[in-house]
Amino acid sequence: MKKSFYHFALTYRGGEWSDEKVRFAESMFLDHAFPKMSDSFEELTNYIEFQSDEYLTIGAFDQLWDLYESKFSI
């Protein structure tokens, strides 16, 4: 069964702070409105684009999304 993007990205929490994927995961975890059950690229991109968080960046999301897709693509 495919995990939501949120649950996949949580695996990066607690890593080295210099990694932007780690900062994204920590920020995402603290954002209670983040769409936790979504696996939709469009929904997640739209959400992130409208947030004003220095760590919830499109660049980090793109890196994580590529990893997510490669792990869960059929």
pLDDT digits (tens, 9 = 90+) for 51-64: 878 999 999 999 99
Angle at 48 between CA 41 and CA 20, to 5 degrees: 95
Is the pLDDT assigned to residue 50 strictly greater than 70?
A: yes
Give the pLDDT confidence score for residue 40 in this predicted structure.
94
CATH topology for 5-72?
DNA polymerase; domain 1 (1.10.150)
- Residues 4-27 have a mean pLDDT of 96
Taken as a whole, the chain contains a residue count of 74
- Band of residue 1 on the pLDDT scale cut at 50, 70, 90: low
Task: Tell me the domain boundaries of the chain.
Answer: 5-72
- Residues 1-9 have a mean pLDDT of 90
Give the pLDDT confidence score for residue 52 in this predicted structure.
77
User: For residues 14 and 12, what is the distance between their CA atoms, to the nearest angstrom?
Assistant: 6
For 28, the token pair is 């995402």
* 20-30 vs 58-72: helix crossing angle, rounded to 10: 90
